């Protein structure tokens, strides 16, 4: 039954692709769904996942792991981009692709496979990456695009994001021992996990296939998932992570390219074709391997 549920979530991605090809919906609806999940679904998920679970050492180390994976991807992308002789706009798009981790693709499958404690570890991994995206990645995009004047405005908008503040509230309530009924928190978590199921559908609506013959596009995909997984494995060993936490470091490190890379590339006039095509390929491949990876995470636990 669990395998069938995972397959059903993966199928939502292809439902989105089919709807786009049939003209029933498209990128506009896909962006709306992602904005809804980001502003409504993700805060609900964070609150339900982190408020009531006992916090452990892994909850502090996994955000650091995510940040290190993104920074390592940035460094590797710089080397690769200069190997290809890409202009600054191309280097920027490749760097953003390597840095942007699409954990939202993992959430729907993880919600069907992981218990509350393990799921909270995945949320903390994602929050570490999110804080980096809202700060360092945003600044890097502006620098590559030659729009340093945009940095204060973008940082102000990013630091006002609902998921960030809900994260602080949830951790504060948890550490303060707030007497919140467990059944209520479980219901909130289930609601958040249900809303997250909109993500693969939205991704299917956003995917387009362009630039498939560009080697730098495939290099960006390999850097994000292949190199990211290796860095996650190494950091898990370095930080002494075991069981589910170690598996999350690897699977999270291998996550597809986040659409943040596409959005920032478009806004800063970077190589949008590189970022969008690499993200499309990465998301498509992720819809195939992520359901299988959940068996690895569950077994590790």
Q: What is the pLDDT of residue 194?
A: 84
DSSP sequence for the chain: -HHHHHHHHHHHHHHHHHHHHTTS--HHHHHHHHHHIIIIIHHHHHHHHHSSSPP-HHHHHHHHHHHHHHHHHHHHHHHHHHHHT--HHHHHHHHHHHH-B-GGGTHHHHHHH--HHHHHHHHHHHHHHHHHIIIIIHHHHHHHHT-GGGHHHHHHHHHT-HHHHHHHHHHHHHHTT----HHHHHHHHHHHHHHHTHHHHHHHHH-----TT-HHHHHHHIIIIIIHHHHHHHHHHHTT--HHHHHHHHHHHTPPBPTHHHHHHHHTT--HHHHHHHHHHHHHHHHHHHHHHHHHHHHH-
Walk along the chain (301 residues) in steps of 10 and give the mean pLDDT of each run: 64 84 84 82 84 83 96 96 93 95 85 80 89 86 80 74 84 82 84 82 71 83 96 96 92 90 82 84 85 77 61
Q: What is the pLDDT of residue 98?
A: 96
Q: What is the pLDDT of residue 89?
A: 92
Q: What is the pLDDT of residue 162?
A: 83
Q: What is the pLDDT of residue 239?
A: 95
What the chain holds in terms of domains, given with CATH numbers, is: 2-300 (1.20.1530.20)
Q: What is the pLDDT of residue 290?
A: 87
pTM: 0.81
Q: What is the pLDDT of residue 238?
A: 96
Q: What is the pLDDT of residue 164?
A: 81
């Amino acid at each position: 039954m669990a395998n069938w549920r995972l397959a059903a979530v993966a199928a939502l991605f292809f439902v989105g692709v089919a709807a786009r090809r049939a003209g029933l919906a498209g990128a506009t609806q896909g962006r709306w769904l992602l904005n809804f999940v980001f502003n409504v679904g993700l805060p609900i998920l964070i609150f339900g996942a982190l408020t009531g679970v006992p916090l452990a050492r892994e909850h502090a180390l996994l955000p650091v792991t995510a940040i290190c994976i993104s920074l390592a991807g940035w460094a590797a992308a710089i080397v690769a981009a200069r190997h290809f002789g890409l202009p600054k706009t191309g280097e920027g798009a490749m760097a953003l692709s390597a840095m942007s981790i699409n954990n939202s693709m993992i959430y729907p499958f993880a919600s069907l496979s992981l218990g509350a404690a393990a799921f909270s570890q995945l949320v903390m991994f994602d929050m570490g990456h999110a804080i980096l995206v809202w700060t360092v990645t945003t600044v890097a995009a502006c620098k590559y695009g030659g729009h340093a004047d945009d940095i204060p405005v973008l940082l102000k908008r990013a630091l006002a994001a609902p998921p960030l503040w809900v994260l602080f509230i949830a951790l504060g309530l948890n550490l303060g021992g707030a007497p919140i009924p467990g059944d209520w928190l479980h219901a909130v978590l289930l609601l958040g996990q249900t809303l997250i199921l909109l993500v693969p559908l939205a991704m299917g609506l956003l995917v387009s296939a362009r630039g498939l013959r560009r080697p730098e596009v495939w290099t960006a995909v390999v850097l994000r998932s292949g190199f990211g997984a290796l860095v996650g494995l190494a950091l898990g060993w370095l930080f002494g992570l075991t069981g589910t936490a170690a598996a999350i470091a690897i699977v999270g490190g291998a996550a597809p390219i986040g659409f943040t890379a596409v959005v920032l590339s478009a806004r800063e006039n970077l190589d949008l074709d590189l970022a969008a095509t690499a993200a499309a390929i990465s998301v498509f491949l992720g819809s195939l391997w992520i359901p299988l990876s959940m068996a690895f995470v569950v077994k590790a636990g």
